[in-house]
Chain A
Amino acid sequence: GAVVSQHPSWVICKSGTSVKIECRSLDFQATTMFWYRQFPKQSLMLMATSNEGSKATYEQGVEKDKFLINHASLTLSTLTVTSAHPEDSSFYICSARDRRGLGYTFGSGTRLTVV
């Protein structure tokens, strides 16, 4: 079945540094990838939609200069949290949409802790 690899699974970084999270579709091509943020005991909040070869579309209230998204190929999207602060600590999950329209596959998530 479709597999999405997301890493790192967890990362601890210092305030002011940047962190990059990768999301790869291993056995299918994904024209669209989605990045979500999840707070404890809450549902997923869509941050942005990433289309291969074009700029990401950010949801209202999400700072595009802080959360940089790159979707350089049909199998890779990256989310970079720039100048991280403790309030950016969260669980980040990516999802890839199969270009054949077969559905959505989620990554295993990344737990980011900013100290």
Chain B
Amino acid sequence: EAQVTQNPRYLITVTGKKLTVTCSQNMNHEYMSWYRQDPGLGLRQIYYSMNVEVTDKGDVPEGYKVSRKEKRNFPLILESPSPNQTSLYFCASRLAGSVLYEQYFGPGTRLTVT
């Protein structure tokens, strides 16, 4: 089944404790991205990657890191999480080459930083 998977689905952590949220897709998509969704706000892009070893900042990159060493994986790293990073996070992927390709979202990771 074609899908985007994220782990963990739920995470409660404390301020300053480094964490990684994994994202993997099995559709051979070049383009992957991370979003956060907060109440009363639309989804906002954190980082995106056009292909392996190519990453770029989205609209709200502060406090986050990403890496793209393999085509299928795009982990999101919070080196020193803070309470304002409490949010619902989505990974997404699509084919590159056209902005009209459908984007597939993962199931989400709900992160709470205390």
Q: Do A and B bind each other?
A: no
Q: Which residues of A contact B (CB under 8 A)?
A: none
